Structure 1
Amino acid sequence: MAYDLELAERIRALVAAETGVDEKRMFGGLAFLVNGNMSVAASGQGGLLVRVDPADAGPLIDDKLVAPMVMGGREMTGWLFVDLAAVAADEDLAVWVNRGVGFAKSLPAKKAKR
């Protein structure tokens, strides 16, 4: 399954004013990187992937609309899978995107690979 083009466009609109944002196709989805750090992605499985501080992840998980991201059978610490139903409203998507962008901005910038 390809990533949701409409979701990617909605994310793009939300991060347009941010500096240091790049897009990169990864894992069947479209990731939005801030200063080289992944922040959010339109997932190839549908839905949204959001990077959060691992210490803040627990209370955000409800195992219905928000679950830990699992890749290759392994839970990815600090990454959440957010179902499309949880981001249907623009305001809800903005909360999640801001959460991911905010955390990515708190990380040291990564140098571009040559």
Structure 2
Amino acid sequence: MFGGLSFMVDERMAVAAGRDGDLLVRTDPTEHDALVRRGGVPARMGDHRPMGPGWLTVPSARISDDVELGYWVEVGIGSRRSSG
């Protein structure tokens, strides 16, 4: 999905590892601004299609260590609580 390897939790996508090393993360939309400040980038499908505040891309440089990668995976897993 989205050109990467997706990981599902409770039948919902939590994160997807992109070919370029970036991570697509499903998020709680209410946490969008705080997560952008942490280093997430609003996700896009192509050049002109934003995916909305429930999705962020985390550049590979931001997840180069296990602690930061773990943080973002937990964000994706935790998003299932807010998305119904």
CA shift digits 1:60-112 (9 cap, x unpaired): 214xx4210000321112100001111111011000001111112x145xxxx
Aligned mate of 1:81, from 57, 72, 76: 57
Q: State the one-letter code of the partner of 1:87.
A: I
Count of matched residue pairs: 80
TM-score (norm 2): 0.84
* SS at 1:70 equivalent: coil
* SS at 1:71 equivalent: coil
* SS at 1:27 equivalent: coil
- Structure with the bigger percentage of strand: 1
Contact 1:33-1:40 within 8 A present in 2 as well: yes
* 2:11 alignment counterpart: 36
* SS at 1:75 equivalent: coil
Contact 2:14-2:26 within 8 A present in 1 as well: yes
* 1:102 alignment counterpart: 78
Q: Are residues 1:91 and 2:67 paired?
A: yes
CA distance in 2 between counterparts of 1:45 and 1:68 reads 16
TM-score (norm 1): 0.64
Contact 1:27-1:44 within 8 A present in 2 as well: no
Rg comparison, structure with higher value: 1
CA distance in 2 between counterparts of 1:27 and 1:103 reads 18
* SS at 2:14 equivalent: strand
Q: Are residues 1:66 and 2:40 paired?
A: yes
Over the matched positions of the two proteins, sequence identity in percent amounts to: 44
* 1:51 alignment counterpart: 26
CA distance in 2 between counterparts of 1:74 and 1:44 reads 20
Contact 1:42-1:48 within 8 A present in 2 as well: yes
Contact 1:66-1:83 within 8 A present in 2 as well: yes
